Each structure stands twice: as structure tokens, then as C-alpha cells.
Amino acid sequence: MVERTTVRLEEGLLRAARKKAAAEGRTLTSLIEEGLRQVIYEDLSRKAQRKPFKIPVSKAKGGPRPGVDLTRTSELLELLDEGLPPEKRR
């Protein structure tokens, strides 16, 4: 389906576009469509070409602090809250 729409362009840009379309033996509409497709698909293509983000993984060895019991949730929450002001503690 083709729709009509109104596009407001700066006078100099419109004049240059009409001149280019005429020189190429095509309509102004086809020139605008080509430009829009190029901008839209170029952006999609650029996004598709981005390298996937890799989440860094710690290679540190060890475990919990000495004396920390991982089965006691209340103890873990206390450790997480260390150094926080009282209003931010759990």
C-alpha cells in the first residue's frame, strides 16, 4: 500500500534533491524513498554487526570469608549491609 504524506524540507535541500532526481531520470519520491531505506536499513545492519557484549567472569579462587555460613540467610544479609548507613540496611 502506498500512502501520501507531506514532508517539509529546507528549500536548498529540496532544490538539490529535485535536481538530482531529474539528472537521474527519476522521481523525487523515489529519491526520498531510497534515502529513507538507506538510513533505516543501514542502522539495522550496524546494530546486527555489533559484537556481542561479553560479561566478565571472575577467575578468582577461594570462597566465602572464613567463618561465614552460607546456609544462614540472616548472617549473609548482615554481611551485605556492612558499611551501609542505617536507612539503607535491610
In the prediction, which pLDDT does 21 show?
Answer: 96
pLDDT recorded at residue 49? 67
What are the helix (H) ranges across 1-90? 11-23, 28-49, 73-81
Q: Give per-residue pLDDT as tens, 13-68.
A: 999 999 999 999 999 999 999 999 988 888 766 666 667 778 777 777 877 777 77
Domains of the chain: which residue ranges? 11-49
Looking at residue 85, its pLDDT comes to 75
pTM score of the predicted model? 0.48
How many CA atoms, within 13 angstroms, populate the side-chain half-sphere of residue 67? 1
